[in-house]
Structure 1
């Protein structure tokens, strides 16, 4: 990200096998039919889903595979880690620059994996499970490399300050590729915890299709959790260069609890559950009432996952603590729905959740994800949500979550799709080095640091390459948006913006399909009557 000296206030292959049976094809054909015959106002969630997964191919670092679909990109960062004697080739660039930041990358993979777990059936039905697994595996393959020994994890490749003096394609990169690590003497419990969560979640995604890889991921996740818990400290205290970009404002306690709950989900080992329960109070799990969920602040996601354990019969003895987790989870949900007593997430005049000026859409996509999950949870357990301002059913929660995603896709005052490449009206001047300069595959002539600024950064024309599937920072508090390359507060996109949308697009595609089917059946009943 381009932000410097951010002072953020925290408000308390893939082993995927192609499934090509008749059932899947009939479902896909139905969705095609649905796309053709839905009203002009409906959104094409199938198209949005496909495009959201393309974005992660645009952000790849390393040697690109033969099946790379984003053809304006080429190999980059092929010597990453060489100076330190370790192979750190691969992974993702976080945004429009070329630094590989470990914390947001891990959160991206956690959210991709969570979506693939919760909405697996819907993603499979849409024919995108293989691409989703490839997106996850590109991250986890890198984490395996970066975790060079039980108590060593490489945290960052590249330096944000020097990187931001350059405007180059990743294929031309001349900036520092210095790598930074955390270890026993330089702890980073937040980074170790989030990476453990990502690998534990991903292990669940690959469990049936690639059990060996799933086991390997789980092994790394367990080691990383033990490392983070034994040698406690914030990673930005050990890796000072990250402070201006991804400082760990919330600390590491949320990540350790978050990792433990994911490890419990992945292993069913009671020790991890005991960790979540025993440290619930001292680590803030049942104390912090939060109104954001992000790469830095995991409490709301943790609290929601803990809440869902309440329906398991074997957890009856832990009801008291789990109910405290649920209370805080519902505080978050109620704050998004504007149903708390005074402490709610702000909204723009058109109804978009608004947490803060910089890259606000990241908070919108994560909120929509948690709201949708909680709606499903309430529906499956036949419960309602009780907020200070009243009782709310699962339908209302689901509808609001969908309204946020539909705003992203164009249901807003500007009729602007903030998902790049979707629809006809979307940001054309995304703040992104690779997208804004002629493709390396078209012109292999070297473009230097200042040359990129002189010849490409200030151009008024649209970017020569479309960053398909990227969710940009989005509009301001008045629903206004300026599509300018230097307006990085609004036009830069990040991997963790799009990650929660993958599962959501599949979910809404499925939901719209069922709704249309019911409407057609009802109309036939009326006609026959």
Structure 2
């Protein structure tokens, strides 16, 4: 590298570091965010997404019972669970990922959630999904993976209380495998079992039993679920395959049980499943490799492994840090795809459709990894090209992404609906965009919703509080229009990682106020790690 190029690179890195520092210290508007308020609102969103018979404790009053005959035609009770986004199909893979991330939020930052007075609501959010998975896992080798059909659902614009679309249910079994959806559901139930281990041990044991059976099914009868359920291909196709979910599930089962055979599985299949081979810049409902690598690195950092596992876990850690450095923009080897693109305002950018899902999941992984480093007394990350980065900078980027979501961005828009003074008002969401059922029980037909509600330029009659919409494009541009579903539709897996992040940042902000801005505040959570 020439001296001029080296100087330019050094200046760029200094600029990035200064940008992160400015974002963390006060943001574009020069004011601190109310993370406690953001946390409270984020948990309300999951109540708005509930399917089934709503409880008396339901706080989102503009929703009512829906999907009460789900599974009836197939002779199974599939009432409950979550709608994934603005439509009314219950897709098993993203729903399971949502529950995994909600559970991980509580495993890492449950003490912070409790200190904010929101633990009860957070536990309810996890349980609503986990209860559904218990119902959906009807036999050891059978899992109902979808209720509803995306094609017919998208032809209609109705409240869930008025649904006239197909509620056909689809399953995976021995003859129609779905290792990805079964593996992710196993991960969700294993993670949830950790969450309920102390407060409800019987329930935790039940979840773990289902998780172990599902993992065995996923591993023994291997195949992609979109090869067994054609109806899912246009919506939640398993592009990454199922091997990442098998590693992911095994790691969560190891964390839930401590059993050595689950870690043996992760080590023995590291190469053939791509765990130590794939270096991917995203973490999502489909692609779990970065999460797998960070969980494996955690075991290495904590010394929770046999000596013979060390070299393989080191390779997992190298790929984990490659992901971290990609988000930081600090990989100097690997070509154009070595780093994640940034918008001018500092947002991590992966792709135009619902980019916020990658922002929130990255923020969580970066925060968790910075915690693991701090707990292990390992202060730096090693990036491709030999550069080292301080763990504090890793967390600074995580916090900057959260603050961007909350309004520290060029538009000053909060992409968390209901938070702040400026947020999306025309969210692409059927229930939120139509008069609430309690105000008008008059039936709204399939096309009537399009005719009378979808095309309105006015704000939605119901505020979808706590939803994180798809968000802006690579130039920080955002158009608040119901028809602009790539940017204005929200998904459960956008918000799930933020439950833990908001709780952690609320604790840090409180300590900063109490101790004064000149006193270092510990990054790691006060919650006991499980």
Task: Give me the TM-score of the superposition, normalised by structure 1.
Answer: 0.90
Matched residue, 2:381: 385
Quote the residue 1:414 is aligned against.
411
Unaligned runs of 5+ in 2: 1-28, 521-530
Q: State which of 449, 464, 468 in structure 1 corresponds to 2:465.
A: 468
Q: What residue number does 1:189 align with?
A: 179
**Which one of 367, 376, 384 corresponds to residue 362 of structure 2?**
367
The whole-number CA distance in structure 1 between the counterparts of 2:55 and 2:471 is 31
For residue 224 of structure 1, report the CA deviation from its aligned partner. Answer: 0.2
Contact 2:250 2:266 in 1 (8 A): yes
Give 3-state SS (helix, strand or coil) of 1:395's partner.
helix
Equivalent-residue separation in structure 2 for 1:182 and 1:405 (angstroms): 37
CA contact (8 A) 2:512 2:519 kept: no
Q: CA deviation at 1:315?
A: 3.2
Match of 2:150 among 130, 140, 160: 160
1:303-340 Cα offsets, whole Å, 9 max, x none, are: 00000111225433311000000011011000000001
Asked if the contact 1:483/1:491 (under 8 Å) is kept, the reply is yes
CA distance 1:307–1:79, change in 2 (3 Å) = same
Mapped pair 1:47 → 2:33: no
- 2:296 paired residue number: 306
- In structure 1, the residue matched to 2:47 is 57
Runs of 4+ in 1 over 6 A off after TM superposition: 520-523
Secondary structure of the equivalent of 1:180?
A: strand
Q: Does 1:322 align with 2:307?
A: no
Provide the aligned length of Structure 1 versus Structure 2: 485
d(CA) in 1 for partners of 2:284, 2:143: 22
Match of 1:490 in 2: 487
Separation in structure 1 between the aligned mates of residue 84 and residue 290 of structure 2, nearest angstrom: 23
Aligned counterparts of 1:205 and 1:71: Cα–Cα separation in 2: 27
1:516 Cα deviation from its structure 2 partner: 2.2
For 2:304 and 2:102, how far apart are their aligned partners in 1?
Answer: 29
Q: Is the 8 A contact 2:322 2:384 kept in 1?
A: no
| 1:522–1:307 distance in 2 versus 1, CA, 3 Å | closer
**Secondary structure in 2 matching 1:93:** coil
User: Aligned partners of 2:309, 2:330: CA distance in 1, in Å?
Assistant: 28
- Alpha-carbon distance between aligned partners in 2 of 1:294 and 1:213, rounded to the nearest angstrom: 28
Distance in 2 between residues matched to 1:444 and 1:434, nearest whole Å: 13
CA distance in 1, matches of 2:144, 2:127: 18
Match of 2:503 among 502, 506, 510: 506
- Any idea what SS the aligned residue of 1:182 has? strand
Q: CA deviation at 1:514?
A: 1.8
Rounded to whole Å, the distance in 2 between the matches of 1:503 and 1:347 is: 24
- Separation in 2, partners of 1:266, 1:378: 21
Within 5 Å, which residues of 2 pair with 1:204-219? Answer: 204-219=194-209
Does 1:277 find its partner at 2:267?
A: yes
Distance of 1:169 and 1:440 partners within structure 2: 8
| Aligned pair partner of 1:135 in 125, 132, 146 | 125
Look up the match of 1:9: none
Partner in structure 2 of residue 439 of structure 1: 436
- The DSSP-based 3-state class of the residue aligned with 2:480 is coil
Distance of 2:485 and 2:79 partners within structure 1:
27
Q: Give runs of aligned pairs for residues 89-238 of structure 1, distance below 5 A.
A: 89-238=79-228
1:350 aligns with 2:341: no
CA distance in 1, matches of 2:310, 2:342: 34
Measure how far apart 1:379 and its partner are. Answer: 1.3
Structure 1: gaps (5+ residues): 1-38, 524-529
> Normalising by the residue count of structure 2, what TM-score does the alignment of the two structures yield?
0.90
Q: Secondary structure at the match of 1:455?
A: helix
Superposed displacement of residue 382, structure 1: 1.9
SS at match of 1:449: coil
Is contact 2:299–2:305 with CA below 8 Å preserved after alignment?
no
- With over 3 angstroms needed to count, the CA separation of the structure-2 counterparts of 1:334 and 1:449, relative to structure 1, is same
Secondary structure in 1 matching 2:171: strand
> How far 1:187 sits from its partner (Å)?
0.2
1:66-85 aligned within 5 A: 66-85=56-75
User: What's the CA shift for 1:388?
Assistant: 3.0
CA contact (8 A) 1:309 1:315 kept: no
Mapped partners of 2:397, 2:267: distance in 1: 31
Aligned-partner Cα distance in 1 for 2:146–2:304: 42
Distance 1:395 1:515 in 2: 16
- 1:200/1:266 contact within 8 Å kept: yes
Deviations 1:186-218 (A, max 9, x none): 000000000000000000000000000000000
SS of equivalent residue, structure 1 residue 171: helix
SS at match of 2:194: helix
Q: Contact (CA 8 Å) 1:196, 1:224: kept in 2 or not?
A: yes
- Residues 481 and 521 of structure 1: is their aligned pair in 2 closer, same or farther, counting only changes over 3 Å? closer
**Equivalent in 329, 332, 340 of residue 331 of structure 2:** 340
1:247 and 1:40 map into 2 onto residues whose CA distance is 42
The 1-side partners of 2:347 and 2:517 are apart by: 32
C-alpha offsets along residues 12-70 of structure 1, whole Å, 9 cap, x if unaligned? xxxxxxxxxxxxxxxxxxxxxxxxxxx97000000000000000000000000000000
Match of 1:400 in 2: 397
Contact 1:55–1:470 (CA<8 Å) still a contact in 2? Answer: yes
Shift of the 302–63 alpha-carbon distance from structure 1 to 2, 3 Å rule, reads same
Indicate if the aligned counterparts of 1:197 and 1:262 stay in contact, CA closer than 8 A.
Answer: yes
After alignment, is 112-121 or 512-521 more displaced? 512-521
